[in-house]
Amino acid sequence: MLGKIFGTFSKDIGIDLGTANTLVYVKGKGIIINEPSVVAVNQKTGQVLAIGQEAKRMVGRTPSHIVATRPLVEGVISDFEVTEQMLRYFINKVHKETFALMPRPRVVVGIPSGVTEVERRAVEDATRNAGAREVYLIEEPMAAAIGSRLPIHDPSGNVIVDIGGGTTEVAVISLGGIVVAKSLRIAGDKLNEDIIQYARDNFKLLIGEKTAEEIKIGIGSAIEMGEETEAVMRGRDLITGLPKEVVVTDTHVREAMERSNKLLVNAIKDTIEQTPPELVADIMERGIILAGGGSLLRGFDKLIAENTKIKVRVTEDPLTAVVRGCGVVLEDVDKLKEVLLPSHFGDALRLRK
């Protein structure tokens, strides 16, 4: 009863709980939060010092007793309590300008399609403990497809590839359900690790994750782009222990990421191979849709097109596709309630208006 009373002053929200970034959609308002999924914790006291953008600025720059960490690894919760505090921070931030002293919103959360029952329950429990009155889970490729405005209810095949920070989701969707899906723990973070390892092996240079990501965004590509680009890579010389910088080209970065990109392409090909022939015919006509931050890697769409012989396009604003899908579900639940996953508190009942 109290939950319903508090709920009248709360705003329903959709959350893309990503490994790299968390985005929050508020019903009737749109996306109002887009912050890194990073939490800074004082290990001496257990106190959370900063969350989101402020915490990300601390990564690699804190004293030993302060740790700036990501509570989600490869799309799943690795630190339950810190994830709960991060979610509570975002929920309270949404309700900062309302009269809700104890916000109890209904929340739709996007999760990877390949998570286990235990991992799924962890997301639901953490969201409830953070203050949600009701929690509804939706698989990220389905949310990305809805956010990309694909006709998911049609009896025809739609392929969505959602490349996030921790996971890549490949799914064939038809008649409001996922026909074939593949989830890989290879995505943006793995590409950063590839660059770090390449620098270590080839230049005897130790660089941080932030530097690797900047190099990837600055000059990274999946195929040759015609014009050679270069960037300065700064770090610590593994032999002398002193600061060192080297000039790397797009060819170096492409070589570093080659194996991971090949695995992603093979996952897409495997998914299509497992798809019923009638849906493959639709896919040939409609093409493959890319979403997520990883889809912004230069030439990745062309690499997939060359290997699958199917046209590929990047969805509009790929970084927000999943959270926009969560928002569409919030705005029109009666039409889309069947895309929600069952809850371990009971079946995912329809949201009351």
Is position 350 within any domain?
no
- Residue 348 domain flag: no
Q: 332 lies in a domain? A: yes
Annotated binding residue 134: no
The predicted structure's pLDDT at residue 351: 45
Answer yes or no: is 212 a known binding residue: no
Residue 280: partners with Cβ closer than 8 Å, 6 or more residues away: 157, 272
69 a known binding residue? Answer: no
Report, as ranges of residue numbers, the positions in the chain whose pLDDT lies below 70: 1-9, 97-101, 344-353
Domains identified in the chain, total number:
2
Q: Are residues 292 and 158 in the same domain?
A: yes
Claim to verify: residue 210 and residue 233 sit in the same structural domain: yes
Its domain, for residue 237, covers: 150-315
CA 327 – CA 25 distance, rounded (Å): 6
Phi, psi values for residue 206, rounded to 5°: -100, 115
Residues 327 and 298 in one domain: no
Pair (193, 223) in one structural domain: yes
Please indicate, yes or no, whether residues 244 and 333 belong to a single structural domain of this protein. no
Annotated binding residue 62: no
Is there a domain that residue 230 lies in? Answer: yes
In whole angstroms, give the CA distance from residue 118 to residue 114. Answer: 12
Q: Is 235 flagged in the annotation as binding?
A: no
Kindly report the pTM of this predicted structure: 0.87
Instruction: Identify the CATH number of the domain in which residue 163 sits.
Output: 3.30.420.40
Let me know whether 114 and 156 are in one domain. no
Longest CA–CA separation in the chain, Å: 66
CA gap 209, 60 in Å, rounded:
9
Residue 299 has phi, psi (to 5 degrees) of 80, 0
165 is in an annotated binding site: yes
Whether residues 89 and 177 fall in one domain: no
pLDDT at site 99: 56
pLDDT in the model for residue 98: 62
Same domain, 273 and 164: yes
Does 266 lie in the same domain as 241?
yes
Do residues 11 and 128 share a domain?
Answer: yes
**Residue 64, annotated as binding a ligand:** no
Residue 75's pLDDT is: 80
pLDDT in tens, 177-191: 999 999 999 999 999
Q: What is the pLDDT of residue 59?
A: 76
Please check whether residue 29 lies inside any domain of the structure. Answer: yes
- Answer yes or no: is 345 within a domain: no
pLDDT at residue 339, as a whole number? 86
Q: Does one domain contain both 139 and 155?
A: no
Is 3 labelled a binding residue? no
Same domain, residue pair 165 and 73: no
Tell whether 147 is in a known binding site: no
Tell me if 296 is assigned to a ligand binding site: yes
Q: For 82-113, how does the pLDDT look when each residue is reduced to its tens digit (9 = 90+)? A: 899 899 988 888 887 665 567 788 899 999 88
Check whether 7 is labelled as a binding-site residue: no
Amino acid identity for residue 236 in this structure: R
Say if residue 93 carries a ligand binding annotation.
no
Q: Does the annotation flag 166 for ligand binding?
A: yes
Q: Does the annotation place 293 within a ligand binding site?
A: yes
